[in-house]
Amino acid sequence: MPGHAGGCAAAVRNRPVAPIPASAGVGLKPAHYQHILEHRPAIGWFEVHPENYMGAGGPPHRYLEAIRELYPLSLHGVGLSIGGAGRLDRAHLERLATLVRRYQPALFSEHLAWSTHTRGFMNDLLPLPYNEETLAHVAGHVAEVQDALGRRMLVENPATYLRFEDSSIAETQFLEELATRTGCGLLLDVNNVYVSGTNHGFDPPGYLDRFPTRLVEEIHVAGHVRREDDLGQPLLIDSHDAPVADPVWALLEQALQVAGPLPVLVEWDSSIPAWDGLMREATRAQRILHARTTEHRRHAATA
């Protein structure tokens, strides 16, 4: 167990923001706390779901404070519901702002999705119709979040299982316009691109060709599961409980070739493997990053 919480917390608050390197990172899970602190593995950074640390104290904060002293952090929210029809939950936003001040993460991101309705909260990230009304509504919420946090946020492209007939704007265009209106950045999840492309019958590499990669500050890869819908067609579920599939690794290579070196996160959020299993995935991501970084430097030297 890490030492006294009060002194460590003060040290974290007084420490400047540590930038996320253009290297592989993984999600921080309680199953790995002790291993990380004892062995200090060669990983570039950790991603944290802030909703797991919104209590006032206790062991989760003591571990996070100790790990923050060793590694940069990125906070990746799942509960803001920036696409929700109602107002943002101010209490949730205030708790999030408190965490940001306490841990000084290099990045904060959320999903282009909604999960609240009236007084209820659904444990899903649900899709939105892409039209001008939705764009204006989400832009207002993004601006409110950025004002509350005093920093730029990143918005992630979603994995979807249905589309709306009244969508009149392509998803890539919607995200680009959202960033233009609000000044937010983008988080590109290439597993979500593959999942949505398979589910809706569009070409994932073509989607990436249209994606505004100049606005991307972080990339995610993850595992998914393959099912069939009622018509016997393939249906992919963004499950985060398996190794990354080969087509998703190929999309990562394509994205890095265009965008250049960026932080790459391996997401694994359920059926958590032992640390060595997670590191195998991170090592593969790091090899791809290294190859693309070397290629970019070579091109820059000859330009």
Q: What is the pLDDT of residue 1?
A: 44
DSSP 68-117: HTTS-EEEE-SS--TT-SS---HHHHHHHHHHHHHH--SEEEEES-EEEE
- pTM of the predicted model as reported, rounded to 2 decimal places: 0.90
Q: What is the pLDDT of residue 15?
A: 59
Architecture of the domain whose range is 5-11+24-297: Alpha-Beta Barrel (3.20)
Q: pLDDT per residue over 2-53, tens digit each?
A: 443 444 444 445 556 889 999 999 999 999 999 999 999 999 999 999 999 9
Q: Which helix (H) or strand (E) holds 65?
A: helix 59-68
Mean predicted confidence (pLDDT) in 137-141 = 97
Q: What is the pLDDT of residue 2?
A: 46
The three-point CA angle 224-270-114 to 5° equals 70
Q: pLDDT per residue over 202-248, tens digit each?
A: 999 999 999 999 999 999 999 999 887 777 788 889 999 999 999 99
Q: What is the pLDDT of residue 37?
A: 98
Instruction: Say how far apart CA 156 and CA 177 lie, in whole Å.
Output: 14
The three-point CA angle 90-95-97 to 5° equals 90
Q: What is the pLDDT of residue 56?
A: 82
Q: What is the pLDDT of residue 162?
A: 81
Mean predicted confidence (pLDDT) in 63-85 = 94
Residue 296, CA atoms < 13 Å, CB-side half-sphere: 17
Q: Where are the domains of the chain?
A: 5-11+24-297
E strand intervals along the chain: 24-27, 45-48, 73-76, 107-111, 114-117, 120-126, 154-156, 185-189, 216-222, 225-228, 234-237, 264-267
